[in-house]
Amino acid sequence: MRCEKMAAPPPPPPAGSAGACMGLRRRCQRLLYWVPVLFISSILCWSYYAYVTQLCLLTMTNIGEKVVCLVAYHIFFMLFVWSYWKTIFTLPMNPSKEFHLSYSDKESLEREPRGESQQEVLRRAAKDLPIYTRTMSGAIRYCDRCHLVKPDRCHHCSVCDKCILKMDHHCPWVNNCVGFSNYKFFLLFLAYSLLYCLFIAATDLQYFIKFWTNGLPDTQAKFHIMFLFFAAAMFSVSLSSLFGYHCWLVSKNKSTLEVFRAPIFRHRTDKNGFSLGFSKNLRQVFGDEKKYWLVPVFSSLGDGCSFPTCLVNQDPEQASTPGALNSTSKNENHLFPAKPLRDSQSHLLTDTPSWSETSGKAEKGKVGMSNPALTMENET
């Protein structure tokens, strides 16, 4: 009996081909992400040529006006470029190692079925961490991609594929996540770009009017002057609304994500849970030293992993006054680890009138660790 020979199946593609295609796709995506940045950069380069060369050097006839405009323009230009550069190339900060699950905790989490048993593992892992916020169901906020317990105000960025501390949003115009490490730079970028556009529009206005009244010589400069005013006016309108919105966010100590989804604390949801008042909210972003406020250097308070909140001492499971804390300290309430809030942030809580009324000198020496906002209930 003759057996028919079966056709052999086609050979499988090489194992590395799929990985190579994925790698090529990621590289192409990274290049595409730079398109908005290149667009802004090209507009900036053209505006420099149009303003400095065509308007100031070739069109302006008054020497004094020319010098003043060139000096002021280069100041705004330098601050704009500096803050934009810092916003783009400042790496977003990620949660510290203490928020990452240990190897044993990861194994326990994988073994346990979803539900209360997994939450028990996460509660054990997070019992000594300065975490106040929860999910909508009251569970510990956990990132299954980064394998870490999320600090307060931390979110996972799908573009960066990382958890970003105090994430505000992923901005395509800077090809970067705007978060704790560069939020001040982003605000300064908006402020200086707005001032840059307003300055150009204001100084170009009289020559823009001359263009329509045939008061300019018939050269290519007249077209640069016209488009320069249109571009500056258009960007001024959009930037003013965006800058005003982020100024409101700073005054309320909110992020863009927290506007759309209010943070959920252990006791209740509160959209203003992190707000400490206008002055303290401003200092959290810009720092205590006013000489650094307008300069694109990092001066924000804290470490990005924990934040003061006005609501923690209202938690029924926590002490409500410093005196009550001392009386309940025997109940083995967990204190934050050694670095929950940097000293530069802790004083935002301790200098309020309601928390400065201590009964003894020993209380004053314990500022920060004896504050009810720095305690965490025993979740074990």
Residues 78 and 226 in one domain: yes
Structure tokens at 205: 């206005």
Closest CA to 90 of 187, 186, 24: 186
Positive or negative: CA dihedral 57, 59, 61, 63: negative
Domain encompassing residue 114: 97-175
Alpha-carbon radius of gyration of the chain: 28
Residues 183 and 70 occupy one common structural domain: yes
**376 within domain boundaries:** no
Choose among 219, 224, 168: nearest CA to 47.
Answer: 224
Domain count for the chain: 2
Distance in angstroms (rounded) separating the CA atoms of residues 188 and 86: 10
Query: pLDDT of the chain along its 380 residues, tens only?
Result: 444 444 455 555 555 566 677 778 878 888 899 999 999 999 999 999 999 999 999 888 899 999 999 999 999 999 999 999 999 999 999 999 999 998 888 888 888 777 788 888 898 888 889 999 999 988 999 998 999 999 999 999 999 999 999 999 999 999 999 999 999 999 999 999 999 999 999 999 999 988 888 877 777 888 899 999 999 999 999 999 999 999 999 999 999 999 999 999 987 888 899 999 999 999 999 999 999 999 999 999 999 999 998 865 444 443 333 333 333 333 333 333 334 454 556 567 665 443 333 334 333 333 333 333 333 333 32
188: in domain: yes
The Cα 169–Cα 2 span in angstroms is 70
Examine the domain organization and report whether 124 and 208 are in the same domain. no
Are both 84 and 184 inside the same structural domain? yes
Of 292, 312, 335, at which residue does a domain stop? 292
Q: Which helix or strand (DSSP H or E) is residue 171 part of?
A: strand 169-171
Helix/strand number for the chain, H first, E second: 12, 10
Examine residue 237 and state whether it is found in any structural domain, yes or no: yes
Q: List beta partners, residue 148.
A: 100, 143
Do 58 and 183 have their domain in common? yes
- Specify burial of residue 188 (Cβ count, 10 A radius: 0-12, 13-18, 19+): buried
Q: 296 with 83: CB under 8 angstroms?
A: yes
CA distance linking residue 75 with residue 270, whole number of Å: 42
User: Which pairs count as long-range contacts for 7-10, CB under 8 Å and 24+ apart, including other chains?
Assistant: none
Task: Tell whether 231 is covered by a domain.
Answer: yes
With a CB cutoff of 8 Å and minimum separation 6, the contacts of 180 are: 92, 93, 164, 165, 166, 300, 302, 304
Quick one: 145 and 233 in the same domain? no
d(CA 268, CA 17): 51
Does some domain include residue 119? yes
pLDDT value at residue 107: 85
> Are residues 106 and 42 part of one domain?
no
Domain stops at, among 155, 175, 195: 175
For the whole model, what pTM was predicted?
0.79
**Predicted pLDDT at 11:** 57
Question: Same domain, yes or no, for 115 and 90?
Answer: no
Catalytic residue, candidates 56, 171, 177, 305: 171
pLDDT of residue 338: 38
Please check whether residues 89 and 118 belong to one and the same domain.
no
User: Has 69 been annotated as catalytic?
Assistant: no
* Residue keyed to tokens 């977003």: 92
Q: What is the spatial distance between Cα 235 and Cα 94, in angstroms, rounded to a whole number?
A: 33
> Do 132 and 145 fall into the same domain?
yes
Domain end marker among 264, 292, 320: 292
Domain annotation covers residue 302:
no
Q: What is the rounded distance in angstroms from the CA atom of residue 97 to the CA atom of residue 363?
A: 32
57 and 117 inside one domain: no
Residue 281 · residue 252 · CB < 8 Å = yes
Cβ neighbours for 118, distance < 8 A, ≥ 6 positions apart:
109, 112
341 part of a folded domain: no
Q: 214 and 278: one domain?
A: yes
Residue 189 lies in a domain: yes
